[in-house]
Amino acid sequence: MLIVPEALIADLVTPEDAYAAVEACFAGMARAEARNFPVVREALGEGRQYGFKSGIDTAAGTMGVKAGGYFPGNAARGMINHQSSVFLFDPQTGRPQAMVGGNLLTALRTAAAAAVSISALARPDARVLGMVGAGHQAAFQLRAAARVRSFEKVVAWNYHPEMLPKLGEVAAELGLPFEAVSLDALGAQADVIVTITSSPAASLMSAHVRPGTHLACMGTDTVGKQEVEPALLARARVFTDEVAQSVTLGEAQHAIALGLIEESDVMGIGAVLIGAHPGRQSPEEITLFDGTGVGLQDLAVAAMAVTRAREAGLGTTLVV
Ligand code: NAD
Protein backbone atom coordinates (compact mmCIF):
# COMPACT_ATOMS: atom_id res chain seq x y z
CA MET A 1 0.00 0.00 0.00
CA LEU A 2 1.39 3.39 -1.00
CA ILE A 3 0.90 6.44 1.22
CA VAL A 4 0.88 9.68 -0.76
CA PRO A 5 0.74 12.50 1.79
CA GLU A 6 -0.95 15.84 1.29
CA ALA A 7 2.38 17.66 0.94
CA LEU A 8 3.25 15.76 -2.27
CA ILE A 9 0.00 16.35 -4.14
CA ALA A 10 0.77 19.81 -5.54
CA ASP A 11 3.78 18.39 -7.40
CA LEU A 12 1.88 15.36 -8.70
CA VAL A 13 -1.52 16.57 -9.98
CA THR A 14 -2.07 19.81 -11.93
CA PRO A 15 -5.42 21.60 -12.46
CA GLU A 16 -5.26 20.42 -16.09
CA ASP A 17 -4.83 16.80 -14.91
CA ALA A 18 -7.82 17.19 -12.59
CA TYR A 19 -9.94 18.61 -15.42
CA ALA A 20 -9.13 15.65 -17.68
CA ALA A 21 -9.76 13.14 -14.88
CA VAL A 22 -13.12 14.67 -13.91
CA GLU A 23 -14.31 14.97 -17.51
CA ALA A 24 -13.43 11.29 -18.12
CA CYS A 25 -15.16 10.29 -14.88
CA PHE A 26 -18.44 12.09 -15.77
CA ALA A 27 -18.34 10.50 -19.24
CA GLY A 28 -17.71 7.07 -17.68
CA MET A 29 -20.74 7.54 -15.43
CA ALA A 30 -22.91 8.35 -18.48
CA ARG A 31 -21.65 5.18 -20.19
CA ALA A 32 -22.51 3.18 -17.03
CA GLU A 33 -18.88 2.11 -16.68
CA ALA A 34 -18.61 3.79 -13.31
CA ARG A 35 -20.98 4.22 -10.39
CA ASN A 36 -21.06 6.04 -7.09
CA PHE A 37 -22.25 4.33 -3.95
CA PRO A 38 -24.74 6.10 -1.65
CA VAL A 39 -23.15 8.95 0.30
CA VAL A 40 -22.89 8.87 4.07
CA ARG A 41 -22.74 12.39 5.49
CA GLU A 42 -23.47 13.11 9.11
CA ALA A 43 -23.77 16.35 11.08
CA LEU A 44 -21.53 16.28 14.16
CA GLY A 45 -22.77 19.52 15.72
CA GLU A 46 -21.21 23.01 15.75
CA GLY A 47 -21.33 22.99 11.94
CA ARG A 48 -19.00 20.01 11.60
CA GLN A 49 -19.83 17.38 8.99
CA TYR A 50 -18.19 14.04 8.35
CA GLY A 51 -18.85 11.29 5.84
CA PHE A 52 -17.85 8.93 3.06
CA LYS A 53 -18.05 9.17 -0.72
CA SER A 54 -17.21 6.00 -2.59
CA GLY A 55 -17.59 4.17 -5.87
CA ILE A 56 -16.16 1.90 -8.52
CA ASP A 57 -14.95 2.67 -12.04
CA THR A 58 -14.61 -0.60 -13.90
CA ALA A 59 -13.12 1.01 -17.02
CA ALA A 60 -10.45 2.88 -15.02
CA GLY A 61 -9.91 -0.02 -12.59
CA THR A 62 -10.44 2.10 -9.48
CA MET A 63 -12.47 1.44 -6.35
CA GLY A 64 -12.36 3.27 -3.06
CA VAL A 65 -13.65 5.84 -0.64
CA LYS A 66 -12.99 9.40 0.40
CA ALA A 67 -13.42 9.89 4.13
CA GLY A 68 -13.64 13.42 5.35
CA GLY A 69 -15.73 16.46 5.95
CA TYR A 70 -16.05 20.09 6.84
CA PHE A 71 -14.81 21.44 10.16
CA PRO A 72 -15.53 25.18 10.35
CA GLY A 73 -13.42 25.67 13.49
CA ASN A 74 -10.24 24.72 11.64
CA ALA A 75 -9.54 28.13 10.09
CA ALA A 76 -9.00 29.57 13.59
CA ARG A 77 -6.50 26.76 14.20
CA GLY A 78 -4.55 27.61 11.03
CA MET A 79 -5.96 24.68 9.03
CA ILE A 80 -8.38 24.61 6.12
CA ASN A 81 -11.95 23.72 7.01
CA HIS A 82 -12.08 20.74 4.61
CA GLN A 83 -10.15 17.67 5.71
CA SER A 84 -10.21 14.41 3.77
CA SER A 85 -8.23 11.31 2.78
CA VAL A 86 -8.82 8.97 -0.14
CA PHE A 87 -8.35 5.19 0.17
CA LEU A 88 -8.00 3.08 -2.99
CA PHE A 89 -8.59 -0.69 -3.15
CA ASP A 90 -7.99 -3.30 -5.85
CA PRO A 91 -11.45 -3.80 -7.45
CA GLN A 92 -10.71 -7.51 -8.06
CA THR A 93 -9.38 -8.48 -4.64
CA GLY A 94 -10.39 -5.71 -2.26
CA ARG A 95 -6.77 -5.35 -1.08
CA PRO A 96 -5.80 -1.80 -0.02
CA GLN A 97 -3.64 -0.07 -2.63
CA ALA A 98 -3.15 3.49 -1.47
CA MET A 99 -3.99 6.23 0.99
CA VAL A 100 -3.83 9.69 -0.55
CA GLY A 101 -4.13 13.13 1.07
CA GLY A 102 -7.44 14.51 -0.18
CA ASN A 103 -7.49 18.22 0.65
CA LEU A 104 -5.88 19.76 -2.42
CA LEU A 105 -7.36 17.01 -4.59
CA THR A 106 -10.86 17.96 -3.37
CA ALA A 107 -10.33 21.59 -4.32
CA LEU A 108 -8.88 20.64 -7.72
CA ARG A 109 -11.60 18.13 -8.59
CA THR A 110 -14.41 20.45 -7.42
CA ALA A 111 -13.09 23.38 -9.44
CA ALA A 112 -12.57 21.04 -12.39
CA ALA A 113 -16.22 19.90 -12.21
CA ALA A 114 -17.47 23.50 -12.38
CA ALA A 115 -15.07 24.21 -15.24
CA VAL A 116 -16.27 21.13 -17.15
CA SER A 117 -19.83 22.46 -16.77
CA ILE A 118 -18.82 25.95 -17.92
CA SER A 119 -16.99 24.51 -20.91
CA ALA A 120 -19.98 22.34 -21.89
CA LEU A 121 -22.88 24.66 -21.04
CA ALA A 122 -21.94 28.36 -20.84
CA ARG A 123 -22.38 30.57 -23.88
CA PRO A 124 -19.13 30.65 -25.88
CA ASP A 125 -19.18 34.48 -25.73
CA ALA A 126 -19.32 34.62 -21.89
CA ARG A 127 -17.16 37.56 -20.75
CA VAL A 128 -18.10 38.34 -17.12
CA LEU A 129 -17.63 35.81 -14.32
CA GLY A 130 -19.67 36.24 -11.14
CA MET A 131 -18.36 34.65 -7.96
CA VAL A 132 -20.64 34.07 -4.95
CA GLY A 133 -18.31 32.95 -2.17
CA ALA A 134 -14.75 33.80 -1.22
CA GLY A 135 -13.53 30.94 0.96
CA HIS A 136 -10.85 28.31 0.38
CA GLN A 137 -12.52 26.71 -2.66
CA ALA A 138 -13.37 30.00 -4.38
CA ALA A 139 -9.79 30.70 -5.46
CA PHE A 140 -9.55 27.28 -7.15
CA GLN A 141 -12.94 27.86 -8.77
CA LEU A 142 -11.91 31.22 -10.17
CA ARG A 143 -8.66 29.86 -11.66
CA ALA A 144 -10.41 26.83 -13.20
CA ALA A 145 -13.24 28.90 -14.70
CA ALA A 146 -10.73 31.30 -16.25
CA ARG A 147 -9.15 28.40 -18.15
CA VAL A 148 -12.30 27.53 -20.11
CA ARG A 149 -13.70 30.93 -21.16
CA SER A 150 -12.12 34.23 -22.16
CA PHE A 151 -13.42 36.26 -19.22
CA GLU A 152 -12.68 39.97 -19.21
CA LYS A 153 -13.91 40.79 -15.70
CA VAL A 154 -14.79 39.18 -12.36
CA VAL A 155 -17.60 40.49 -10.15
CA ALA A 156 -17.97 38.99 -6.70
CA TRP A 157 -20.23 38.96 -3.65
CA ASN A 158 -19.67 37.25 -0.33
CA TYR A 159 -21.73 37.00 2.85
CA HIS A 160 -18.53 37.97 4.70
CA PRO A 161 -17.31 40.90 2.55
CA GLU A 162 -13.97 41.10 4.40
CA MET A 163 -12.97 37.86 2.61
CA LEU A 164 -13.30 39.35 -0.88
CA PRO A 165 -9.91 41.12 -1.22
CA LYS A 166 -8.14 37.73 -1.09
CA LEU A 167 -10.22 36.53 -4.03
CA GLY A 168 -9.39 39.82 -5.75
CA GLU A 169 -5.71 38.88 -5.49
CA VAL A 170 -6.41 35.67 -7.44
CA ALA A 171 -8.18 37.68 -10.16
CA ALA A 172 -5.18 40.03 -10.26
CA GLU A 173 -2.84 37.02 -10.69
CA LEU A 174 -4.92 36.10 -13.75
CA GLY A 175 -4.84 39.68 -15.04
CA LEU A 176 -8.59 40.11 -14.61
CA PRO A 177 -10.27 43.27 -13.28
CA PHE A 178 -12.15 42.48 -10.04
CA GLU A 179 -15.08 44.28 -8.46
CA ALA A 180 -16.92 43.56 -5.21
CA VAL A 181 -20.59 44.19 -5.97
CA SER A 182 -24.15 43.65 -4.69
CA LEU A 183 -26.00 40.51 -5.79
CA ASP A 184 -28.19 42.74 -8.01
CA ALA A 185 -25.12 44.08 -9.81
CA LEU A 186 -23.53 40.64 -10.00
CA GLY A 187 -26.53 39.04 -11.67
CA ALA A 188 -26.99 42.00 -14.02
CA GLN A 189 -23.44 41.63 -15.40
CA ALA A 190 -22.44 37.98 -15.07
CA ASP A 191 -22.60 35.53 -17.97
CA VAL A 192 -21.37 32.72 -15.72
CA ILE A 193 -21.97 32.53 -11.95
CA VAL A 194 -20.12 30.15 -9.62
CA THR A 195 -21.62 29.74 -6.14
CA ILE A 196 -19.27 28.17 -3.60
CA THR A 197 -20.42 28.83 -0.05
CA SER A 198 -21.44 26.83 3.01
CA SER A 199 -24.69 28.77 3.21
CA PRO A 200 -27.75 27.25 4.95
CA ALA A 201 -30.17 29.52 3.04
CA ALA A 202 -30.46 30.97 -0.46
CA SER A 203 -28.41 34.10 -1.16
CA LEU A 204 -28.83 34.31 -4.93
CA MET A 205 -32.45 34.82 -6.01
CA SER A 206 -34.03 34.01 -9.33
CA ALA A 207 -34.65 37.74 -9.94
CA HIS A 208 -30.89 38.38 -9.71
CA VAL A 209 -30.14 36.11 -12.69
CA ARG A 210 -30.59 37.19 -16.29
CA PRO A 211 -31.44 34.97 -19.27
CA GLY A 212 -28.49 33.20 -20.90
CA THR A 213 -26.53 32.81 -17.66
CA HIS A 214 -24.77 29.57 -16.77
CA LEU A 215 -24.57 28.79 -13.05
CA ALA A 216 -22.26 26.29 -11.40
CA CYS A 217 -23.71 25.79 -7.92
CA MET A 218 -20.92 24.01 -6.07
CA GLY A 219 -21.41 24.66 -2.36
CA THR A 220 -24.46 22.53 -1.55
CA ASP A 221 -23.27 18.99 -0.87
CA THR A 222 -25.32 18.15 2.23
CA VAL A 223 -28.94 18.06 3.32
CA GLY A 224 -29.91 21.50 4.61
CA LYS A 225 -27.39 23.60 2.68
CA GLN A 226 -28.73 26.03 0.08
CA GLU A 227 -27.20 28.73 -2.15
CA VAL A 228 -29.89 29.74 -4.65
CA GLU A 229 -33.64 30.28 -4.68
CA PRO A 230 -35.49 27.08 -5.73
CA ALA A 231 -37.47 29.09 -8.30
CA LEU A 232 -34.20 29.52 -10.22
CA LEU A 233 -33.98 25.77 -10.77
CA ALA A 234 -37.55 25.76 -12.09
CA ARG A 235 -36.50 28.47 -14.58
CA ALA A 236 -33.28 26.77 -15.63
CA ARG A 237 -32.23 23.65 -17.52
CA VAL A 238 -30.66 21.69 -14.68
CA PHE A 239 -27.59 19.44 -14.98
CA THR A 240 -25.63 17.66 -12.30
CA ASP A 241 -22.75 15.30 -11.69
CA GLU A 242 -25.03 12.60 -10.18
CA VAL A 243 -28.83 12.80 -10.25
CA ALA A 244 -29.33 10.72 -7.07
CA GLN A 245 -27.12 13.13 -5.10
CA SER A 246 -28.52 16.27 -6.71
CA VAL A 247 -32.13 15.55 -5.71
CA THR A 248 -31.30 14.45 -2.16
CA LEU A 249 -28.33 16.49 -0.97
CA GLY A 250 -27.52 18.92 -3.78
CA GLU A 251 -29.01 22.29 -4.65
CA ALA A 252 -31.98 20.53 -6.32
CA GLN A 253 -33.12 19.04 -2.98
CA HIS A 254 -35.09 22.24 -2.23
CA ALA A 255 -36.82 22.62 -5.62
CA ILE A 256 -37.73 18.92 -5.49
CA ALA A 257 -39.13 19.21 -1.95
CA LEU A 258 -41.25 22.17 -3.02
CA GLY A 259 -42.53 20.27 -6.09
CA LEU A 260 -41.05 22.92 -8.44
CA ILE A 261 -39.09 20.34 -10.43
CA GLU A 262 -39.00 16.55 -10.66
CA GLU A 263 -36.07 14.16 -10.69
CA SER A 264 -36.58 13.67 -14.44
CA ASP A 265 -35.85 17.40 -14.93
CA VAL A 266 -32.25 16.90 -13.74
CA MET A 267 -29.75 15.55 -16.29
CA GLY A 268 -26.32 14.07 -15.69
CA ILE A 269 -23.70 16.25 -17.39
CA GLY A 270 -21.94 13.11 -18.62
CA ALA A 271 -24.74 12.73 -21.17
CA VAL A 272 -23.75 16.10 -22.67
CA LEU A 273 -20.07 15.14 -22.67
CA ILE A 274 -20.68 11.90 -24.61
CA GLY A 275 -23.08 13.60 -27.06
CA ALA A 276 -26.24 11.90 -25.76
CA HIS A 277 -27.83 15.24 -24.68
CA PRO A 278 -27.54 18.57 -26.53
CA GLY A 279 -26.85 20.63 -23.38
CA ARG A 280 -27.66 24.35 -23.77
CA GLN A 281 -30.37 24.75 -26.39
CA SER A 282 -30.47 28.52 -26.91
CA PRO A 283 -28.41 31.61 -26.01
CA GLU A 284 -31.28 32.84 -23.78
CA GLU A 285 -31.63 29.66 -21.76
CA ILE A 286 -30.38 29.58 -18.16
CA THR A 287 -28.28 26.47 -17.52
CA LEU A 288 -27.50 25.38 -13.96
CA PHE A 289 -24.98 22.73 -12.91
CA ASP A 290 -25.69 21.28 -9.47
CA GLY A 291 -22.20 20.11 -8.50
CA THR A 292 -22.65 17.86 -5.50
CA GLY A 293 -19.20 16.21 -5.62
CA VAL A 294 -19.06 12.49 -6.32
CA GLY A 295 -16.75 9.82 -4.94
CA LEU A 296 -15.65 8.88 -8.47
CA GLN A 297 -14.10 12.32 -8.91
CA ASP A 298 -12.02 11.72 -5.79
CA LEU A 299 -10.94 8.26 -6.95
CA ALA A 300 -10.00 9.59 -10.40
CA VAL A 301 -7.67 12.31 -9.11
CA ALA A 302 -6.27 10.12 -6.31
CA ALA A 303 -5.46 7.35 -8.81
CA MET A 304 -3.63 9.93 -10.91
CA ALA A 305 -1.61 11.03 -7.87
CA VAL A 306 -0.70 7.40 -7.12
CA THR A 307 0.43 6.72 -10.69
CA ARG A 308 2.60 9.84 -10.72
CA ALA A 309 4.03 9.07 -7.26
CA ARG A 310 4.97 5.53 -8.35
CA GLU A 311 6.62 6.87 -11.52
CA ALA A 312 8.65 9.38 -9.49
CA GLY A 313 9.47 6.94 -6.66
CA LEU A 314 7.64 9.17 -4.15
CA GLY A 315 5.44 8.26 -1.18
CA THR A 316 5.88 5.59 1.46
CA THR A 317 5.14 1.90 0.88
CA LEU A 318 3.61 -0.06 3.76
CA VAL A 319 2.99 -3.79 3.83
CA VAL A 320 -0.55 -4.33 5.12
P1 NAD B 1 -14.75 28.02 3.56
O2 NAD B 1 -15.12 27.75 4.95
O3 NAD B 1 -13.34 28.32 3.23
O4 NAD B 1 -15.65 29.25 3.02
C5 NAD B 1 -17.03 29.31 3.30
C6 NAD B 1 -17.73 30.25 2.36
O7 NAD B 1 -19.13 30.26 2.67
C8 NAD B 1 -17.25 31.70 2.51
O9 NAD B 1 -17.40 32.36 1.27
C10 NAD B 1 -18.23 32.25 3.54
O11 NAD B 1 -18.33 33.66 3.52
C12 NAD B 1 -19.52 31.60 3.05
N13 NAD B 1 -20.55 31.52 4.10
C14 NAD B 1 -20.39 31.08 5.37
N15 NAD B 1 -21.56 31.20 6.04
C16 NAD B 1 -22.47 31.71 5.15
C17 NAD B 1 -23.85 32.05 5.24
N18 NAD B 1 -24.53 31.90 6.36
N19 NAD B 1 -24.46 32.54 4.11
C20 NAD B 1 -23.75 32.70 2.95
N21 NAD B 1 -22.44 32.40 2.83
C22 NAD B 1 -21.82 31.91 3.91
O23 NAD B 1 -15.31 26.79 2.73
P24 NAD B 1 -14.83 26.23 1.33
O25 NAD B 1 -13.79 25.20 1.55
O26 NAD B 1 -14.57 27.36 0.40
O27 NAD B 1 -16.15 25.42 0.88
C28 NAD B 1 -17.32 26.14 0.50
C29 NAD B 1 -18.47 25.16 0.36
O30 NAD B 1 -18.21 24.26 -0.71
C31 NAD B 1 -18.71 24.29 1.60
O32 NAD B 1 -20.11 24.23 1.81
C33 NAD B 1 -18.20 22.94 1.18
O34 NAD B 1 -18.82 21.87 1.86
C35 NAD B 1 -18.55 22.95 -0.30
N36 NAD B 1 -17.77 22.01 -1.11
C37 NAD B 1 -18.44 21.34 -2.08
C38 NAD B 1 -17.77 20.45 -2.88
C39 NAD B 1 -18.47 19.76 -3.99
O40 NAD B 1 -17.91 18.85 -4.61
N41 NAD B 1 -19.65 20.17 -4.35
C42 NAD B 1 -16.40 20.21 -2.66
C43 NAD B 1 -15.73 20.95 -1.69
C44 NAD B 1 -16.44 21.86 -0.92
Residue 310: which CATH number?
3.30.1780.10
Task: Look at ligand 1, atom 4, and give the residue with the nearest C-alpha.
Answer: 135
Answer yes or no: do 39 and 145 share one domain: no
User: Which residue CA neighbors atom 19 of ligand 1 most closely?
Assistant: 199
CA of 105 to the centre of ligand 1 (A): 16
Nearest protein Cα to ligand 1, atom 15? 199
Structural domain containing residue 313: 2-106+296-317
**111 part of a folded domain:** no
Domain count, the chain: 2
Are 177 and 303 in the same domain?
no
User: Does residue 112 lie in a domain region?
Assistant: no
Percent of the chain with pLDDT over 90: 95
> What's the whole-model pTM score?
0.97
Any domain includes 113: no
Q: Ligand 1 pocket test: pick from 137, 159, 194 the residue with the most ligand atoms within 8 Å of its Cβ.
A: 137
Determine the distance separating the centroid of ligand 1 and the alpha carbon of 10, expressed in angstroms: 22
Q: Which of 37-51, 184-198, 209-223 has the lowest mean pLDDT?
A: 37-51
- Percent of the chain at pLDDT exceeding 70: 100
Provide mean pLDDT across the span 108-130: 98
| Residues 172-212: tens digit of each pLDDT | 999 999 999 999 999 999 999 999 999 999 999 999 999 99
Q: Which residues line ligand 1 (CB under 6 A)?
A: 70, 81-82, 106, 110, 133-138, 158-160, 163, 196-200, 203, 218-219, 221, 225, 291-293
Q: How far is the CA of 227 from the centre of ligand 1 (A)?
A: 10
Q: Are residues 94 and 165 in the same domain?
A: no
So what's the pLDDT on residue 253? Answer: 98
Whether 226 and 258 map to the same domain: the answer is yes
Name the residues annotated as catalytic: 66
Per-residue model confidence (pLDDT) at position 320? 84
H, E, C per residue of the chain: CEEECHHHHHHHCCHHHHHHHHHHHHHHHHCCCEEECCCEEEEEECCEEEEEEEEEECCCCEEEEEEEEECCCCHHHCCCCEEEEEEEECCCCCCEEEEEECHHHHHHHHHHHHHHHHHHHCCCCCCEEEEECCCHHHHHHHHHHHHHCCCCEEEEECCCHHHHHHHHHHHHHCCCCEEECCHHHHHHHCCEEEECCCCCCCCECHHHCCCCCEEEECCCCCCCCCCECHHHHHHCEEEECCHHHHHHHCCHHHHHHCCCCCHHHEEEHHHHHCCCCCCCCCCCCCEEEECCCCHHHHHHHHHHHHHHHHHHCCCEECCC
Q: Check whether residue 276 and residue 129 sit in a common domain.
A: yes
Mean pLDDT of the chain: 97
Same domain, 59 and 77: yes
Establish if 30 belongs to a structural domain: yes
> Which numbered atom of ligand 1 lies nearest the CA of 222?
34
Residue 219 Cα, ligand 1 centroid: separation in angstroms?
6
